[in-house]
Chain A
Amino acid sequence: SQTIHQWPATLVQPVGSPLSLECTVEGTSNPNLYWYRQAAGRGLQLLFYSVGIGQISSEVPQNLSASRPQDRQFILSSKKLLLSDSGFYLCAWSVASRAEQYFGPGTRLTVT
C-alpha cells in the first residue's frame, strides 16, 4: 500500500535561517506531488505541485521554493525564513489523471 511521510513533525527556526522540509512517498511510481500551507479559517493554500522529476509549478509567489530530486521525494525550501512563513505545511500525492489526494501528517513550522 502507499504511504507518505513528512519530516520533521515540528520545527522552530529563527528569522533569516534556511529551511528544508522533506516529503517522501512509498508504494507508487510517478505520483503528482503537492505542497500546501494550512491556515486556520483559510483552508488549504496550494504552494507548489509537481508532475515529475525536476518539474515544479509554483502557485503563489513567495519566499519558498520546491524541488523534486527523485520520483517520490519532494522538498520545500527557503534560503531565509520570514516570520510570515510560520504555519502548518502539508505534503500530498495523487495518481496522475486522478483528483483524489492523499496527505502526509504535516510539519508545524514556527519562525521566531
Chain B
Amino acid sequence: AQRVTQPEKLLSVFKGAPVELKCNYSYSGSPELFWYVQYSRQRLQLLLRHISRESIKGFTADLNKGETSFHLKKPFAQEEDSAMYYCALRKSNYQLIWGAGTKLIIKP
C-alpha cells in the first residue's frame, strides 16, 4: 500500500538546536517526495523536492531508499521555522499522498 507516515504530530525544539522532522513512506515504485510547509495564516507551499537535492531556508532532505525515509533537517532552528510541515509522495498518476503533518514549534 502507498502510504506516508509522519510519526510526530508535534515537535518542539529550542532556537539554535538541530531539527529533524521524520517522514517514512511505503511505495513499490520509484518514489518522488516533497516537503510542504504552512506558516501561520499563510497558504500551504512547497518547501523542497527530493529530485532537486536543494537546500531551502537552511532545510535539506535526503531520500533514503533503504530505510524508506525522507527526513527534513536543519542544523540550527530559527523562530521563523515554526510552522506545520507535511511530507508528500507522488503516486503513479502524479497525485500526491500526504502525511498527517508535524507541527514544529521553535522555543526562544
A contacts, CB < 8 Å to B: 32, 34, 38, 41-44, 46, 49, 90, 92, 94, 96-106
Number of A-B residue pairs at CB separation under 8 A: 42
Interface residues on chain B, number (Cβ under 8 Å): 17
The answer to whether residues A90 and B34 also contact, given A49-B95, A99-B96, A100-B49 and a CB cut-off of 8 A, is no
Q: How far is the CA of A96 from the CA of B100 in the complex (A)?
A: 25
CB of B9 within 8 A of CB of A100, answer no
Q: How far is it, in angstroms, between the C-alpha of A34 and the C-alpha of B98 when the chains are bound?
A: 14
* Residues on B with beta carbons closer than 8 Å to the beta carbon of A103: 43-45
The answer for the CA separation of A49 and B101 in the assembled complex, in Å, is 21
Chain B residues within an 8 Å CB radius of A106: 43
B interface residues, Cβ below 8 angstroms from A: 9, 32, 34, 43-46, 49, 86, 90, 94-96, 98-101
